[in-house]
Amino acid sequence: MKGKHWYQEDLIATQYDAKRFSKGGSLINSHEKQIVTNFLDSIDGKTILDLACGTARFSLMLADFGADVVALDISKSMINIGKNKADPSPHSGDLTFFHADAGNLPFDDSSFDIVLAMRFFHLTPIPMYFFLEMHRVAREKIIFDTFNKYSARSFYNWLLPMGSTLHSRSYISQLLSSIDATIENSHHDFIFPYGVYRNLPTFLAKPIRSIDSSVVSTSLGQRISTVSYWSISL
């Protein structure tokens, strides 16, 4: 997996939230949380696997909404930060942290109503291998995101320490049809790559996001958006 050892370093975990979800990155964070909740008809009482949970931004939100969540990541440092976030806060649902590899999930078939895998799919060297594992443990739905091949992200992708694989939407459709999974919903967003937002203070990122939203609402904007979010019914 791309950048596997880099991702598990303690220093990366301690800097993770500040680099990705502060300043203009907070706009991305709040928007992605809204997309995930929009994809879920109901959350209370659902069993959810948050795959590659990082520092548990989605896990905490879903547990607050009443889901029983297993937050799984390959980085012990990431998990420890997630646990520290969770400890002071009571949740409506259960929240359990699990250290494991997404390519070999230690769960029985159909263990979860929903599998969530955000900021993960682009790191997998053999997407089908990991997707089959997600499919195996999910009963109802898989939610994940991809970075788009024909977008501005392709211009700077090679600079990223973890790298990433960019996928065309036709590839995703072919992959899902091969395992008889159905695209229930999708959302295509962000003309400007994430890095633009992360490096700006919020007061500058907000007007750029407004422009971004206007462009991405057009037919051309939809075709060149950098990120796609997918909700897959099983």
Tell me which residue of 188, 105, 175 sits closest to 147, measured CA to CA.
188
Q: Tell me, what's the pLDDT at 161?
A: 53
Q: Tell me, what's the pLDDT at 142?
A: 97
Q: Tell me, what's the pLDDT at 67?
A: 97
pLDDT band of residue 14 (cuts 50, 70, 90) is confident
- Residue 44, classed as helix, strand or coil, is coil
pLDDT over 70 (residue 160):
no
Mean pLDDT, rounded, for 104-113:
96
Higher per-residue confidence, 108 vs 160: 108
Q: What is the DSSP letter of 167?
A: B
Domains, the chain, ordered by start: 4-233 (3.40.50.150)
Higher per-residue confidence, 9 vs 160: 9
pLDDT over 80 (residue 133):
yes
Average pLDDT, the chain: 89
Strand partners, 99: 73
Q: Tell me, what's the pLDDT at 203?
A: 95
For every residue of 65-86, DSSP letters joined together read TT-EEEEEES-HHHHHHHHHHH
Q: Tell me, what's the pLDDT at 159?
A: 62
Predicted TM-score (pTM) of the model is 0.91
Q: CA dihedral in degrees (71, 76, 78, 83; nearest 10)? A: 60
Burial class (CB in 10 A: 0-12, 13-18, 19+), 18: exposed
pLDDT over 80 (residue 3):
no
